Structures are given as structure tokens and as C-alpha cells.
Amino acid sequence: MTSGSSSKLTKLRELMKDRNIDAYVVPSEDAHASEYLAPCDARRAYITSFTGSAGCAVITHNEARCWTDGRYWVQAEKQLGEGWTLMKSGLPEVPTWGAWLKSDLPSSSRIGIDPTLIPQSESTTLSTSLTATPTTSSLVPISENLVDIIWSESEQKPTRPTNEIFNLSTQYTGESVESKISRIRDKLKRIGSPGIIVTSLDEIAWLFNLRGADIPYNPVFFAYAILTRDDCTLFASPKSLTDPVREYLHKNGIALLDYDQIWNSLGSWQKRLTVERSQQQTDKDVDMNDEPSTKKAKVEKEGDKEEKVVKTDKVLIGMKTSWAIAKAVGEDNVEVRRSIIEESKAKKNATEIEGFRQCHIRDGVALARYFAWLEEALQQNEKWSEYDAARVLENYRKENKWFMGLSFETISSTGANAAIIHYAPPKEGSAIIDKDKMYLCDSGAQYLDGTTDVTRTFHFGTPTEEEKRAFTRVLQGHIALDTVVFPQGTTGKDILARRALWSDGMDYRHGTSHGIGSFLNVHEGPQGVGQRPAYNDVPLVEGMVISNEPGYYAEGKFGIRIEGVDIIVRAETRENFGGKGWLGMERICMCPIQSSLLDISLLSPSEKDWLNEYHSEVLEKIGPMLREVGDERAIGWLERQCTAI
């Protein structure tokens, strides 16, 4: 750890003493629970020097610990230095940071946290745990972020971006803002809730059919929103709002207030809600025969489906909404639920689904051109760094129609670097791609009509038998998930994609699948396939879009991942047991999988058929577009890669 990092810890501990705090928690997220951050919100990275996107730091007067999951263990071990202890989340012997605070801190400790950076649901759970005997410690909201104080005093802290917001037309969204607001209001009325507070940036962008550029790779903007049965208000920076966007919002009955005015508005709403709830309680006390409306379950019809509606008379906030928001409107006035906007956003309409199909075809053209170029360059003994090669891929994507930027930082990794699951090559000093080692490239793009995310692993020389066997097992897992047929109501339990790897005693430390937004965040909830408890609670439904990305990582040697994207569609089955209806996957990623890297003897006839059918589809859809751009090298490469086995 650099002396600068040590100095930061010293200054932070001085601030902790001033505020009578025994421990201070620094989460990774911003006030909107964003995965990717604007530079001004990268507080955990600033204080720890660990730049991975997931993790939590806890600083006491004697210790500094950083928790992160298996995707980042190798990276964190390299970036965290003296004075920091890496806590490998997910290992049986490693407690969560909340459990560690309860078990390792002295009784009656005061644990400080910025209340805008922890969800209300987590703060409630943690507070309950800490205050229970015998520890009787307390979670203390610290309104001024202590890391910000150090950051601003020691150097120029980045300012919050206010980039221009623009309207995304129904040509791409498939539904007007008027229709979306009406749908959400109908749900609020059926639930009995007076309104919803929206804090997730991608939910706000989706609801209003707006996009921005305040966070790298995510086309979102800093904002809050309040939607009630009668009115709707968007809180955003005036600097971000053009006259056309203002007119568009006004036309659709959406009021505009400054981003920071959310706190005053919630305070005013709290007063009204408190009075209303007091009156409601008085009315109930007068008539003791009345049943309370809160959490009263009822089954209602929505279209041709039955929906279980749990009633509440409270304001709805999502699972990721901050403690600060709940405190501002009154914790007794809110109910935490999975966001009804998140659920609506996850199920794509016909326009969005077609956009996904088309943008993945265009993206496949860029990928074919890139891998064909890279193979030739390496065969000619040209020296290309991981970073510079990634820029070549980006330039090919820039030639595509409706390209709006990358959907995440490209993972371009050779040899042992590919075993670092979320490796990002540094601009200076990244490794030279070695044609005699495995090369893993995980990349994606934002287009007006969709978001892409694809990983391919290639070997441009002669792979070892160990590498070929591992690659084959990963492909078998990919095929197993891609071909699954399952009844409606099935959740994202994570077994199929790991089965082939497990047969050889292999595994991987990341989820198999995540949801993907439509020209929005590349990682989207609530759906997915993995070991996260939330995935086991969320049914996969028709219209959701998910990734399919099993992998294997031999630390210090190589890494493998094969990732595509699937649309969940209706499946035709011979029977319809229980009348549930059945679902399957439609693959839409169009990029060859290197068959020369396979141990063919391990593949079943049906797996061989899958690969041949897939390559036939890729050749049919990508070939004509490569001819249009006149890239003969890519055409020849594609034909070779798509040769049947």
C-alpha cells in the first residue's frame, strides 16, 4: 500500500474519533445503488486502492478490511497492500461484513455509515442484528460522507456530471412514457399504495424513455422520481435538461425539480402522510370491525393471467432504495418491495426484442472482423497489447449503425490474466497477447436498439489437452442452459451450466446469467441464473433477456468463458403438464465458438448438432453483412470457424 493510502486511513480515523465512531463502513455503491459509478462516487476505490466494481470496506481504529467476491480475489490481492485485509466473500469461514461487525467489535460500538449508500432493507436488518444482545452496538447515520471530506481536502475530487439528457423515441422503446406511467399507476391503485419513489437510475431512464451519459457504459443520468396516483415529478439537474426534453416532459404531465430538491419534497410528503395515516388509524379505531388494508393478499386478473396482489397503504420503495430516502419520507410510511418498475422493465416488448436480435447481428460483424484481424496479426508475429487490441475492437464497433458506446470496459486478457475474472487491461503496461496462450475477450456495446454482451475464448496456437478439456466442459454447460425447456414459474437455480464442469471437479466463482437492459445497464435485475438467493426467488418469464456465461479459471495459467445472450420464449412441448405452459431460450449472440479448441470426443451427438446448427446460423446472418463492408479477411475467417464438425 502506498504512503498515500496509509495517510488516507490515518485521516479517516481522525474523523471517526471526532464523531465518536468505532467503525466506518464504505460500500461500493452510489446513492442510487449503481454497479458502475461516476468518478465522484468511487469512494471505496479511493480509500482502498482496489478498483473492482463490487465490495465493501470497513475501517476501525485498528483494522481495515475489504470484502469482495470470487470475481475479484486475484485483483484485490494485487491492489490491496499493507494495512488492509482481504475478506473473500463466499468462503465458508469468511463472515459477511455485517456479521464481522457484530462478532469482532466490542459491545456498544458505534458503526457509522453514509445513509445514502446503504439500502433501507439492509440497514434495518443490520441494525436489528447489531442491537441484539450481547453486543448492543448501533448503526449510526453520518450525513456527511467522511471519505468525501478527505478526498476534497487532499486533492480535487471529481464533480458530479451533468451531461445532456435525450429522449429515446418509441421506435426503440416500443411504448410511450404515457403508457408506462399509466401501467404503473394502475398497479399502485390495485395495491392501494399512494405512490412510489424511484431511485435506480436505469428504472428512471426506462420509465421516462430518456437516456443520458452520467455514468460510464450506462446510458443513464442522475435523477430521482416520485410517481403517485395523481402526479409525477422528475428530479434532475437543470444543466442536463435541454428545451426539447423539457417540452417533452411537460407535454406528458411530468413536473421538473432540481436533483437536490428530492429531500425537501420527501420531507413535505412525510408530513402529509403522517397526518393521513393518523387519521386512518383513528377511523379504524372507531369501527373495530374494519380489517386493516396493509399486506392483505388478494388474487386479481391482469390480462389473461392471475396476479397475487399484496395490499399496502404505504409508499413503495425498491429493495435498493437508500436508508436516507426512507428516513426522509418517514420509515413508518414506506414499505420495501421488489420494484414494480424493475419487474416491468425486465420483460421486454416486441420492439425491444427485435432490437436485441438486430443489434447482436451487427455486433457479430464487428466481432468477426476483430478476431479475424487479431488472428492474422498474431500469425504474422505482430506485437499487440491487450489494451491496444481492445481499442481495435471498439473501432470496429463504432462503424456499426446506432452505436452509442461500450456497455462495459472490455476484458481483453491473455494467458494468466484471463484467470482474473473481471480483468481490465491497463492503458500502460498491459501484457502482449501471446498466440501460444488462451485469449479471453468479454465485451459489449450500447446501441439505440439494444445492449450486447459477449465473451469468446480463442487459442491462436496449439492448445494443451488440459485447455481443450476445460473449454469443452464450459461449452457443454453453455449448451445445456441454451437448450433447456422449463415450466413457467421456474426460478434461476444454477445447476445445468455447471454439471459438465462438476463431472471433472471444476467450477467457477461467478453467476451463470444476468438480465440485460434494452439500451440500458448491461447488468439488469431482478432475473438471472446463479447462486444469489434473489435469483431463486424470481421466476424467469417470457420476454426476459439473460446472458449465458459459464466459465473456468485456472489461476496463474488461463481462463475460459463462453457467453451469449438469450431471449426467454414460449416453448412448444408435446404435453403441458399442470397447464403451466413451458419456456425455452432463443440465442441471439452471433459469433463463432472455436471448434479447434474442443475435445470432440467429449461431445454428445446432440451437442455436436447444436454447435453445427449455431455456426450455420452465424454464417447465414453475419456473412452477407461482412460482404457488404467488403472485409474479405473476416469472410474467410468466418467460413473456416463455421465449418461443421
**Rounded percentage of the chain residues whose pLDDT exceeds 90:** 83
Grid cell in block for residue 361:
447481428
Same domain, 233 and 272: yes
Same domain, 633 and 525: yes
Q: What is the DSSP string of 194-249?
A: SEEEE--HHHHHHHHTEE--SBTTB----EEEEEESS-EEEEE-GGG--HHHHHHH
The residues facing 514 across adjacent strands are 528
317 in a structural domain: yes
160 in a structural domain: no
pLDDT reading at 156 higher than 90:
no
pLDDT reading at 304 higher than 70:
no
User: What's the average model confidence in pLDDT over 6-18?
Assistant: 92
Which of 99, 133, 154 finishes a domain?
154
Comparing 272 with 632, the larger pLDDT belongs to 632
pLDDT reading at 193 higher than 50:
yes
Give the integer Cα–Cα distance in Å for 260 and 237.
Answer: 8
User: What's the average model confidence in pLDDT over 627-633?
Assistant: 97
364 in a structural domain: yes
Q: Look at residue 3 in the predicted model and tell me its pLDDT.
A: 45
Neighbour count for residue 562 (Cβ, 10 Å): 25
Q: Look at residue 536 in the predicted model and tell me its pLDDT.
A: 81
- Lowest mean pLDDT: which of 166-180, 271-285, 550-564? 271-285
Which of these, 307, 82, 69, 67, lies nearest to 186 by C-alpha position?
A: 307
Same domain, 322 and 369: no
Give the integer Cα–Cα distance in Å for 590 and 363.
Answer: 8
- Lowest mean pLDDT: which of 53-57, 188-192, 287-291, 408-412? 287-291
Q: Which residues contact 122 (CB under 8 A, 6 or more apart)?
A: 98, 323
Comparing 515 with 131, the larger pLDDT belongs to 515
Q: Look at residue 636 in the predicted model and tell me its pLDDT.
A: 98
Same domain, 342 and 408: no
Same domain, 194 and 206: yes
Q: Which residues contact 132 (CB under 8 A, 6 or more apart)?
A: none
Which of 327, 346, 365 finishes a domain?
346
Residues 483-535: pLDDT tens digits? 999 999 999 878 889 999 999 999 998 999 999 999 999 999 899 998 877 78
If pLDDT is split at 50, 70 and 90, which confidence band does 317 have?
very high
If pLDDT is split at 50, 70 and 90, which confidence band does 281 have?
low
- Lowest mean pLDDT: which of 134-148, 168-182, 581-595, 622-636? 134-148
Same domain, 338 and 408: no
CB of 276 closer than 8 Å to CB of 270: no
> How large is the angle between the packed helices 120-131 and 97-104, nearest 10 degrees?
20
Q: Which residues contact 560 (CB under 8 A, 6 or more apart)?
A: 418, 438, 440, 457, 467, 470, 471, 474, 551, 552, 553
Q: Look at residue 131 in the predicted model and tell me its pLDDT.
A: 87
421 in a structural domain: yes
Same domain, 317 and 416: no
> How large is the angle between the packed helices 350-379 and 386-398, nearest 10 degrees?
130
Which of 95, 126, 154 finishes a domain?
154
Burial class of 354 by CB neighbour count within 10 A (0 to 12, 13 to 18, 19+): middle
Grid cell in block for residue 478:
453453455
Q: Look at residue 1 in the predicted model and tell me its pLDDT.
A: 37
pLDDT reading at 294 higher than 60:
no
Greatest Cα-to-Cα distance within the chain, rounded to the nearest angstrom? 87
If pLDDT is split at 50, 70 and 90, which confidence band does 2 have?
very low
Q: Give the single-character DSSP code of 563.
A: B
Burial class of 70 by CB neighbour count within 10 A (0 to 12, 13 to 18, 19+): middle
User: What's the average model confidence in pLDDT over 407-430?
Assistant: 94
If pLDDT is split at 50, 70 and 90, which confidence band does 298 have?
low
What is the amino acid identity at position 283? D
Q: Look at residue 164 in the predicted model and tell me its pLDDT.
A: 98
Give the integer Cα–Cα distance in Å for 497 and 513.
Answer: 10
Q: Which residues contact 162 (CB under 8 A, 6 or more apart)?
A: 214, 222, 237, 239, 240
Domain span including residue 71: 3-154
Q: Look at residue 32 in the predicted model and tell me its pLDDT.
A: 97
Name the strands in the sheet holding 454-459, side by side, starting at the edge strand that comes first in the sequence: 411-414, 438-443, 454-459
Same domain, 378 and 281: no
The CATH number linked to 325 is: 3.40.350.10
161 in a structural domain: no
Same domain, 357 and 409: yes
**Mean pLDDT (the chain, rounded):** 93
Indicate the helix (H) or strand (E) that contains 260. none
470 in a structural domain: yes
Residues 76-110: pLDDT tens digits? 998 987 789 999 998 999 999 999 999 889 989 99
| Count of domains for the chain | 3
Residues 216-243: pLDDT tens digits? 999 999 999 999 999 999 999 999 999 9
Same domain, 394 and 320: no
Which of these, 478, 501, 496, lies nearest to 486 by C-alpha position?
A: 496
Same domain, 330 and 355: no
404 in a structural domain: yes
The CATH number linked to 443 is: 3.90.230.10
Same domain, 364 and 327: no
Find how far residue 573's CA is from the centre of its chain. 33
Q: Look at residue 190 in the predicted model and tell me its pLDDT.
A: 95
Q: Look at residue 238 in the predicted model and tell me its pLDDT.
A: 97
458 in a structural domain: yes
User: What's the average model confidence in pLDDT over 35-41?
Assistant: 94
